[in-house]
Structure 1
Amino acid sequence: MYKELVNVSGLRMVEAAARLKSYSKAAEELHVTQAAISQQIRKLEGQLGCKLFYRKGRSMHVTQQGAVLHEAICSGFNSIIEGLKKIQSEPLAGELTITTTQSFASLVLVPRMWKFALAYPDITLKVLTSKETEDLRLGKVDVAIRYGRAPYPEYHCEVLFDDPIVPLCSPSVAKQLDTQDPSSLKRCWLIDYAAKEYWPEWFERLSIDPDTSHCQVLQVNNIDVAMSAVLAGHGVCLGSAKQAAHYIEQGMLVQPYAYGLEPGTQYRLMYDLESPRALRIKAFNTWLRDELACT
């Protein structure tokens, strides 16, 4: 029986008649005849086995059952309207959710978020840190910024930067180095933050003995810990100058030697081309690229 009730035009007639308390006014609003309104409502009452309206004077009023149905129809129509809004293009103002790695968030995004807030006060950024790439088609996350070169054919991907891995340290540590002799780095603490040891490869690229067995080496599990160590003046790490640009600009870190390892650190920005938040994504993408271009 309920399959027969799926008649959107009939439900619209009930909603209009209940709201306007008149079959004739409902007919005028919906551009149909009063007879069509009356016929549809009688058909629905027959299917349901109860009266939905009763006449009082010149007005039509809903019965108790009619009030219940009217409330359900209004709720359903409101849900449909909200759904339509969500799948259509949203305005520039609103929320934008970004997922990225802990290191990119702490080194690149968070130090610059105040600039974005000044440029786009009507866009609220929400940053989530995760190693996983969430499904951007579900609407819960709008933009993913990820490290590496793995393909993501289901999304639109743009390279933000592909930066060589270079030595980074505090100004106090840099003073202890011979600017003409990169091998002087072996007298400092060398900080590695990956399963692969980058320092032997970096030295070998410069035709320097790659053996670091006699060096003081600190192994940490991620770039955030490595950066904390070098900011505290505890040695030198290999990292991306683009990623550490905020600290370099503030004079908290320096790059003592220009030599870098390639392929280096690549970060990409990804999003769903059919996202209803396309305007916000474009604004964020343009702003972030401008920020990175300045470093």
Structure 2
Amino acid sequence: MDNFSNKVIVITGGTTGIGFGYAKAFGKEGAKVVISGRRENRLQEAITALNNNGIEAKAILADASSLEDTEKLADFAWDSFGKVDVLINNAGMMVHHAPVLDMPLEDIHAIFNVNLFGVVIGSKVFGKRFVDQGTPAAIYNIGSENSLFHGTPFNGAYVATKHGVLAFTHSLREELPDFIDVSLICPGFVVSELGPPENMQYGMPTDQFVSITIPQLKANEFYVVSHAYNVVMLHQKQKALAAAYATYAPRYEGDVRYDVRTNLSPVLQQQVGQSLREF
């Protein structure tokens, strides 16, 4: 989607941080914005700030991890503007850093419910409506640099959720019709309320991050990136993987025989009755 003027954009967790940054930026391009969140005072503060900047925006209390709330969010957006063009699955949370073996199970469940299942629920609810609407649309899921590699120590549950967002978003991009763009936004450390204020001195300013990523969304890139140093970590990961395969599973003639995608993709497409798009 190369132009956001007069588009209706729904942003979960849109009251602060990256979500609010996108609300401001897209609003300045002429989009109408619907934001959701779980704190009524923050919703009101955000709407006031957006309206004061000449942005047409509405807000609704909604928990991204709730199917019922997400259906209400979709109803509210369509009732308010008659259509929705873009969903940004932005709502996320963080739990206290701890070794994996010491992390409370309830914390792990909580972060998966929001960071991963919130994306799944939002994509399903809005994705089905986008298909029925039949007009150009987009789903942008907020992953992380932690979708691509393990960037944050003592944060295993968070990293796992963001790996999950990558896998789910990849499937979504393959399976949805061509008129629905799907992108994975991969922020590194960006100023937000997800961590202690004293740590935010190391984060990229939110508006800078947003300005880097919007041109990539307009270009329909799948991986939407921002933090240049990430390539160091990616090269380390790729080098380790390549070394493992070269040592223990080197290529040989006919090795495609056991490739699951090559062999099962045509079968599964026939069984499901749906083709995949390439990207």
User: TM-score range with shorter-chain normalisation?
Assistant: under 0.3
- Normalized per residue, the structure richer in helix is 2
User: Higher relative contact order by CA 8 Å / sep ≥ 6: 1 or 2?
Assistant: 1
- What TM-score comes out, normalization by structure 2 length? 0.27
Task: State the TM-score, normalized to the length of structure 1.
Answer: 0.26
Structure with higher strand content: 1
